[in-house]
Structure 1
């Protein structure tokens, strides 16, 4: 699968899509959503101090999702229902396919003139899982990873597969304490596992469900200005 096979929405901050971006933010949506989902959030951010920033909103392919009775929807990978002991079998083939697709999206930004060190990878829910999967394994150093309301996929492979270039990549990790879709414990497990491997994780918990809060947007804005303000 190449990037031309998926739908991509783009916008450049400052209201001028013809401006030359000095940074990029690739945003991965959650299960059943599409690239439009986080456009309003991006429009709430004030990154003028950085200069023109290109937001890239890809839409995941449409595929059957087992946990939803095989109903076809946009998904980065399949999700299986939990077993009797609460454990879940992960769709490793689907995760790996989308990992390769996300890496091609990152490479595409570099080809268009924004180096990896000026590119942030961001995702919500399923998109959060893909951000951690692909971002921590990306071969070139990224500006940062934003992981919202999700979890760490394929954790048993991370230590062996993680990229040396991104061992110190800044990570903004956030979760709702009342999340009924992805329990906050899964976000906390991701935080603890990443910190145990030496990653710099800024953890934020908010009194919300499976969503994004106004306070979260404010703190994310400040973090983005910090990581993108560095040369």
Structure 2
């Protein structure tokens, strides 16, 4: 089981949000976002921020760092190491199972991720026959996008998706993210797409929009 940073907004959490960080960061990276995101009327939430394992990253001259997968190519269609992606999806599934064991059903678990973390969230979402409450993919893309139709399992498209991206992102070009959103929409996912004048980052307007989207998930439970 991955080590995690956890925050609970109430004594008895009714929901869980599992949030995966980006390349080279760790589970502390998005923890400060909780007070900016959470609203007073929301149910109690457990935020789980796991640390990715350290592994050599090819495009960074093999330097070991926290990464959900190796980046083996500049071509986004083959950029992500498929074995690493599969391993990280399995580790995410273990975290989901732990939340279920702690009393949170899959229908009240939200999966979120930034950059590499978001790529894992989208990959996992395709393969979940037991849907979670929603998928949040920030400044990211769907790995192996051409293979997505063959990876999709029954029931997965019932998971709503929130995707947001910067129009000036120098790490993952906007067109790559837009293509991923279009593919997910074609497959049958309900994708809320947000675009902001920013680089590879998050912004206040984006967090507010995500809050609105999460509030809609809570209201439907």
Q: Deviations over 1:171-191 (max 9, x none)?
A: 001000000011111110111
Q: Deviations over 1:145-187 (max 9, x none)?
A: 0000000112233222223222121100100000001111111
Deviation at 1:87, TM superposition (A): 5.7
> Against the structure 1 CA distance between its residues 89 and 221, is the aligned structure 2 distance closer, same or farther, given a 3 Å change threshold?
closer
SS in 2 for 1:35: coil
Aligned match of 1:124: 114
TM-score, scaled relative to structure 2: 0.95
Gaps of 5+ in 2: none
Distance (whole Å) between structure 1 residues aligned to residue 18 and residue 41 of structure 2: 19
Whether 1:8 aligns to 2:11 is: no
Contact (CA 8 Å) 1:47, 1:53: kept in 2 or not? no
Contact (CA 8 Å) 1:13, 1:48: kept in 2 or not? no
Whether 1:75 aligns to 2:64 is: no
Aligned match of 2:125: 135
Gaps of 5+ in 1: none
Whether 1:59 aligns to 2:54 is: no
Aligned match of 1:156: 146
- Using the TM superposition, name which of 135-144 and 21-30 deviates more: 135-144
Whether 1:208 aligns to 2:198 is: yes
Distance (whole Å) between structure 1 residues aligned to residue 188 and residue 79 of structure 2: 27
Whether 1:108 aligns to 2:98 is: yes
Distance (whole Å) between structure 2 residues aligned to residue 47 and residue 111 of structure 1: 26
Aligned match of 2:175: 185
TM-score, scaled relative to structure 1: 0.91
Distance (whole Å) between structure 1 residues aligned to residue 79 and residue 36 of structure 2: 37
Q: Would you say how many aligned residue pairs link Structure 1 and Structure 2?
A: 221
Instruction: Let me know the Cα RMSD of the aligned residues.
Output: 1.4
Distance (whole Å) between structure 2 residues aligned to residue 186 and residue 93 of structure 1: 21
SS in 1 for 2:155: helix
Aligned match of 1:26: 18
Deviation at 1:135, TM superposition (A): 1.9
Tell me which stretches of 4 or more aligned residues in structure 1 moved more than 4 Å. none
